[in-house]
Amino acid sequence: MVSVPKFILRRLYVKGSLTNTEEGMEFQLMNKLGSGYARRLLPLTVDGEDVSPERCEFNVDGAVVSFDSVTKENPFTMALNKATTVRARGVTLTDGPHNIGMGFEVAGLGVLKFDFTDTATGG
């Protein structure tokens, strides 16, 4: 299988978008790499701790997709050049930098993982 380096996948993250909200935390992804279909999502990690997939979701143009609803039969499409908001309900970030990690399984590529470090705004 082809491997995609983490430094390339980090380009998905919109720098400075990590934000505390009333519901938890969120950040933006912008896919400039190419359309893809995730058929499984790994738990989001915040500073090395897993966040339950039931508490995580994508929001694209108002359509909300829970991490735990993504399957081989119901893949999540990350369209090219379209903003995607990732939310983790019940997670509040403290002042200072935080490391956020994501992982997903893509047909033909296997499991892809990346992380980024940023400081949250808001909240």
Tens digits of per-residue pLDDT, 57-69? Answer: 999 888 899 999 9
Count each helix (H run) and each strand (E run) in the chain, helices first. 1, 11
The answer to whether residue 32 scores a pLDDT higher than 90 is no
pLDDT digits (tens, 9 = 90+) for 70-118: 999 999 988 888 889 999 999 999 999 999 999 999 888 889 999 999 9
Coil/strand/helix, residue 88: strand
Cβ neighbors of 97 (< 8 A, separation 6 or more) are 117, 118, 119
Map out the domains of the chain as residue ranges: 6-118
The model's pTM: 0.91
- CATH class of the domain comprising 6-118: mainly beta
